[in-house]
Structure 1
Amino acid sequence: MPGKLTTHVLDTAHGCPAVSMTVELWTVDPQTGQKMLLKTTSTNSDGRTDTPLLSAGELKVGVYELVFSVGDYFAQKSVHISNPPFLNRVPIQFGIADPDAHYHVPLLTSPWSYSTYRGS
């Protein structure tokens, strides 16, 4: 199976997929820390993106960062959040070592916490 990068966002405060959350994908130079925006997208009704963030041929060995707009998402919900929000933009920086593998980076989040793992 060709390599790809996918994500899935779950709203743990409401127990449902996070619909219409903005997600940015950045590449990161490990030497300088300089970042370059590759893509901006949003989640669908299942909390996933409609297509992989990176597909076969696009996925390269390197350091990447997903930035999830958690603050904006919860501001649109009926959840009382502080101003500024405790969590606003949640970055997850990770490495791709095998461009032929499937990297799935889910985010489980509420206005006050988040967790992630390498999924399948």
Structure 2
Amino acid sequence: MMIQSPIIRKLEKKEFEEIWSSNLHTFNKEWHQVKTVLPVGTKVSGYIEAFFPHGILIHIFQHNAVGLADTHSYAEKTPSEWMYPRHEITAIVQGYDELNQWVILEQTQVFENQFKG
């Protein structure tokens, strides 16, 4: 039995943006709820999910929200061996990225312990 590889094709930026936007639109109710329960100034905790060119994506424990933290704002004060996925963090909600439905974080602190859940 032969397994076929999935067809992969390059998306133009406009097409990607349309797909991304329509997909996020399905989560508008949840996004509104996240902004309501995590207003600017709220202290949150979570763990590092991934490193992106935009910054570091953080899984926020409260309401399974996705946060974005500026890598450079705390990388210099954090041991390099803690700068990996699953290391726990605390941060303060600074604002929101409406386009990507991310919670923008500041005053981020990374800890030695890793999320085991």
**Structure number, greater radius of gyration:** 2
TM-score in terms of structure 1 length: 0.21
Is the strand fraction higher in 1 or 2?
1
Is the helix fraction higher in 1 or 2?
2
TM-score in terms of structure 2 length: 0.21
Q: Which has the higher contact order (CA 8 A, sep 6+)?
A: 1
